Amino acid sequence: MTKSVFSKPFTQQEAIPDAGIEHAIMVLRSGRLHRYNTLEGEISEAALLEQEYAAYMGQRYCLACTSGGYSLHIALKAAGIQPGEAVLSNAFTLAPVPGAIDNAGGKPVLVEIDHNYCVDLAHLETMMLQSRARFFMISHMRGHIADMTAVTALCKKHGVTLIEDCAHTMGASWDGKKSGSFGKIACFSTQTYKHLNSGEGGFLTTDDDQIIARAIIYSGSYMLFERHGTVPQAEVFTDIKLDTPNYSGRMDNLRAAILRAQLPGLDQNCTRWNKRYRALAQRLANNAQVYLPQRPDKESYVGSSLQFRVPELDQGQVAIFIAGCALRGVELKWFGGVEPHGFTSRYDSWRYTGNSQQLPQTLEILATTFDLRIPLTFSIEDMDTIGSIIDEEVSEILS
């Protein structure tokens, strides 16, 4: 029997919707790409996007900026981080998170994850007590949302400010409440591989007057802060505008126009991702060696990627499995590697943090965890092909 091969690329996104392309052309024709370059009475694309995304989130304020990582950085600054302060973060995340903590002058203190890729709540409390950190930057990594009722209760109990990294949970919610509305601040990315695509870009959302005022000034508003889409009253800026440096990181009107056209279709796309996710999860559930994370009823996730474990595989078999899938066109990422690779890096490779924490539980989970993207360019039938390949390759090694 010849082995089936999957031939679509795992990194191909859908085209920008026609409305977005037309909108982008209008901005290009106008020549007014800078967010403060407006005609009399005109509201810029960037400002309109801020209003629309704040409304989508049900939050008072949104700042559009250059990237998700940038928004994480200024979120910590706007929250009042002081040089050298500890910032808690779950250890399973991507490099921009510890990078943002470092950029804000903080020191990452890492927390174990559980078998469902969420922050381990018992370890979180231990580390809150041990570190006395004032900030917890929770990364809803790969869209897995921890019990947010418990997380917010722990933060409250220990006086910790919660900042949410929602790079993978845009459009998701916990117990009927949008991911990104549990913390003091939430950060989102509109980089190509996330849920909205402007190449690069980010949002910071909050309900807090002081925080948004500081974030706006940090983002490089000069004294044009009143031209933002969602701004507190001018008085809020009286001291903040003099006390806050300009860390130039503005969103431009071209990217804003592209994003504005995508936002109305976001929820529908989330449904499309989930159809694919569920089809693949169902196919993989046939194999008893494959462990899928449990997803609680309260979690309305966005299945733009899927993680699974094959706990029986040893180190050598992991490499054989990844290579076997790759030969058949299925691109798996592995977070267990000592050496960082592509977009993937394990926490102990972030040497600049000077952090020598040992997180055995996280290492054990990541050692046999595989991760694959689910771009919307894949059909539901493709999920069956991919699932079969994974199933067959696992069975071949472990039989």
Ligand X SMILES: *Cc1c(COP(=O)(O)O)cnc(C)c1O
Site residues (vs ligand X, CB under 6 A): 67-69, 93-94, 96-97, 139, 141, 165, 167-168, 189, 191, 202
Residue 17 burial (CB < 10 Å; 0-12/13-18/19+)?
A: middle
Least Å distance between CB 18 and ligand X? 25
End-to-end CA distance of the chain: 18
Least Å distance between CB 63 and ligand X? 14
Residue 207 burial (CB < 10 Å; 0-12/13-18/19+)?
A: middle
Report the residue number, 164 or 393, with the smaller CB distance to ligand X.
Answer: 164
Least Å distance between CB 347 and ligand X? 13
Whose structure tokens read 């903040």? 240
Least Å distance between CB 166 and ligand X? 9
Report the residue number, 191 or 253, with the smaller CB distance to ligand X.
Answer: 191
* Measured CA angle at 353 (ends 141, 81), to 5 deg: 80
Instruction: Report the alpha-carbon distance of residue 133 to residue 192 in Å, rounded.
Output: 33
Report the residue number, 92 or 321, with the smaller CB distance to ligand X.
Answer: 92
In the numeric block, which tokens belong to residue 349?
A: 């490779």
**How many other C-beta atoms can be found within 10 angstroms of the C-beta atom of residue 381?**
9
Report the residue number, 94 or 216, with the smaller CB distance to ligand X.
Answer: 94
The helices-and-strands tally (H runs, E runs) of the chain is: 13, 13
In the numeric block, which tokens belong to residue 363?
A: 């290492």
Instruction: Report the alpha-carbon distance of residue 8 to residue 13 in Å, rounded.
Output: 11
Report the residue number, 195 or 228, with the smaller CB distance to ligand X.
Answer: 195
Least Å distance between CB 98 and ligand X? 10
Report the residue number, 302 or 397, with the smaller CB distance to ligand X.
Answer: 302
DSSP H or E run through 173 = strand 173-174
Least Å distance between CB 335 and ligand X? 12
- Return the residue nearest ligand X (CB atom): 68
